[in-house]
Chains A and B, each alone.
Chain A
Amino acid sequence: GNSVTQMEGPVTLSEEAFLTINCTYTATGYPSLFWYVQYPGEGLQLLLKATKADDKGSNKGFEATYRKETTSFHLEKGSVQVSDSAVYFCALSGGSNYKLTFGKGTLLTVNP
């Protein structure tokens, strides 16, 4: 079945540092890939997505590229802010239905 593996957290960075959160996946066919963000006490919000190989999703300074050859979808941001502190989830959708399969989540804390 489908599965998503993302780097264990927590990740603690200083403001303006570079962020990478690794995500790899296992799926049959051509899944769509997503990064969702969960701020404290809130639901999940879509951060970015990519639906085919070599697509780059981007939003709010975050980027991730769909790499089929390495089955990866790493999240990056060049300069994080305190307001980026949240839990980040990598997810995929593929196969015969549209359910999302999530990674375990990575807690990011950005200190001023």
Chain B
Amino acid sequence: NAGVMQNPRHLVRRRGQEARLRCSPMKGHSHVYWYRQLPEEGLKFMVYLQKENIIDESGMPKERFSAEFPKEGPSILRIQQVVRGDSAAYFCASSPHPPGGFEQFFGPGTRLTVL
């Protein structure tokens, strides 16, 4: 059973461009979470999605950021008009059930660098 997959692993964008980060959860997992990690800092919750639904987006900036998890295909985290402060590692995790009582499996992350 393949693990959580994220692509690209590294992404370089210039200020003002768009960044699209993809996450394919483990087979059978319908719950997906996105986290942002700045260098030498902890994991900041951004958004929790279940197939076709956003369950909790309380950690996501209200402007420029959006996330989706369509019925078919990977989950997408989209950042429009990127700024230097968006440079970070973005991790996706998945689980077969809501996270409170179950392990989350993390992907390898996408390192976003904004020039």
Chain A complexes with chain B = no
Which residues does B use to contact A, with CB under 8 Å?
none
